[in-house]
Amino acid sequence: METREPEVIRDKEAMRRWSRGVRSQGKTIGLVPTMGFLHDGHLSLVHQSLSLADVTVVSIYVNPGQFSPSEDLSTYPSDFSGDLAKLAAISSSVSDAIVVFNPRNLYDYDGDHGGRKKTNGGVGGRVVSCVEEGGLGHETWVRVERLEKVLCGKSRPVFFRGVATIVTKLFNIVEPDVAMFGKKDYQQWRIIQRMVRDLDFGIEIVGSDIAREKDGLAMSSRNVHLSGEERQRALSINRSLSMAKASAAQGKTSCTELKDMIIQELVGVSARIDYVEVRSITTFT
Ligand code: AMP
């Protein structure tokens, strides 16, 4: 089958023009925000978007605003041509229904760099999180006050404000009708849902099921960084949660017992535990 790569738009004004042109033809737009290095989990979101909207924008942008200096911004995996090939394989069956938005730097405001030297989305020749160094002129953040502080937010204090802010920027640039988020990043999905409700975005937020490898590991771009042994140990996350789920289904309702069961399984493979908590699926209480 002949494959044709999707159109790539790099400029935010061009992206907005494209979207408004599509809308003026009465078509609906789906958005799949990603950081690239696409795998079948991302592609399942693209398929879902194609089933819900006339055209789909896949954004590929590693957002510096959600990384703290100790995190892996500079080593985040990427393979842009591989990503295009994967999307082309989908596009061939749906002709022109996919475009890729791949901006260079969404925190670069018309040459206003707050007095700092402009270098490849970073400062002084380094790629940095735009959070710590003044953000190249950026100072407005969207915070979902309560939901962002718990679970992953405890150990990653700037992460969810970075996510909520970049998603807001993408919503304002792409102006989609519907946007897909994976339940692999469960807290992120719920935070975006709440943000859309609280700030009256006219966008439907869809949560997509987790795509897994055959052995149960959730697909993730960062999995390429795991050694064989680490990958094997990582299976304990899904295994421990599945065990707790089965026990709960059989009537074990003590949160402490369920937590202990998960912790035991993780400790069994010498995992370093960030958190194990039992919370409401919507309010995180
Ligand atoms: P990322 O590129 O990691 O920022 O992910 C982009 C989107 O794909 C997010 O909404 C993720 O939750 C979603 N996603 C990533 N991995 C999976 C997966 N294994 N299953 C379902 N969705 C996923």
Q: Using CA atoms, how far apart are residues 2 and 116, in angstroms rounded to an integer?
A: 47
**Apex 243 CA angle, 240 and 245, nearest 5:** 110
Contacts of 157 (CB under 8 A, 6+ apart): 68
* Site to substitute for ligand 1 among 45, 72, 156, 192, most atoms within 8 A of C-beta: 45
Q: Which of 34, 47, 171 to mutate to test the pocket of ligand 1 (most atoms within 8 A of CB)?
A: 34
Distance 44 CA to ligand 1 centre (A): 9
pLDDT digits (tens, 9 = 90+) for 172-193: 999 999 999 999 999 999 999 9
Predicted confidence (pLDDT) per residue in 37-83, tens digit: 999 999 999 999 999 999 999 999 999 889 887 888 889 999 999 99
pLDDT at 232: 96
Token output for 85: 């090939």
Q: In this predicted structure, what is the pLDDT of residue 142?
A: 96
**Given the DSSP bridges, would you call strands 98-101 and 178-182 parallel, antiparallel or unpaired?**
unpaired
CA distance 40 to 184: 13
Q: Give the residue, out of 37, 39, 42, with the most ligand 1 atoms within 8 A of its beta carbon, to mutate for a pocket test.
A: 42
Find the distance separating the first CA and the last CA of the chain, reported in whole Å.
50
Ligand 1 centroid vs 66 CA: distance in angstroms?
15
Tell whether the model's pLDDT for residue 116 goes beyond 80: no
Contact 135, 107 (CB under 8 A): yes
Backbone torsions φ then ψ of 182, nearest 5 degrees: -85, 145
**Residue 217 · residue 231 · CB < 8 Å:** yes
pLDDT of 122 reads 45
- Which has the higher per-residue pLDDT, 201 or 158? 201
Ligand 1 site residues, Cβ closer than 6 angstroms: 34-35, 41-42, 44-45, 181-182, 184-185, 208, 210-211, 218-221
Q: Is 108 exposed, middle or buried (0-12, 13-18, 19+ CB in 10 A)?
A: middle
Structure tokens at 192: 């975006």
* Res 74: pLDDT: 86
How much is the pLDDT for 130? 52
- Rounded distance, CA 88 to CA 106, Å? 25
Q: Determine which one of 42, 113, 138, 225 is catalytic.
A: 42
Q: Three-state DSSP class for 252?
A: coil
Q: Which atom of ligand 1 is nearest to the CA of 37?
A: 2
Strand spans (E) along 83-122 = 98-101
Using CA positions, which residue lies closest to atom 14 of ligand 1?
182
Longest dimension (CA), the chain: 61
Q: Do 68 and 40 touch, CB atoms closer than 8 A?
A: no
Q: Report whether pLDDT(120) > 60.
A: no
SS3 (DSSP) at 100: strand
**Residue 251 corresponds to which tokens in the numbers above?**
């009537």
Q: Could you give the count of Cα atoms lying within 13 Å of 248 in the half-sphere of its Cβ?
A: 15
CA of 38 to the centre of ligand 1 (A): 9
Q: Report the b/e string of 57-84 with b at 16+ CB within 10 A.
A: bbbbbbbbbbbeeeeebeebeeeeeebb
DSSP state of 273: P
State which amino acid sits at residue 104.
R
Note the helical H segments in 121-227.
152-155, 159-174, 186-198
Q: Is 42 in the active site? A: yes
Q: Token pair for residue 213?
A: 């490898």
Q: Phi/psi at 28 (nearest 5 deg)?
A: -100, 155
Question: Is the four-CA dihedral 198, 206, 210, 224 of positive or negative sign?
Answer: negative
Q: What percent of the chain has pLDDT over 70?
A: 89
Each residue's pLDDT tens digit, 234-283: 999 999 999 999 999 999 989 999 999 999 999 999 999 999 999 999 99
Per-residue pLDDT tens over the stretch 3-34: 789 999 999 999 999 999 999 999 999 999 99
Tell me what pLDDT residue 1 has: 58
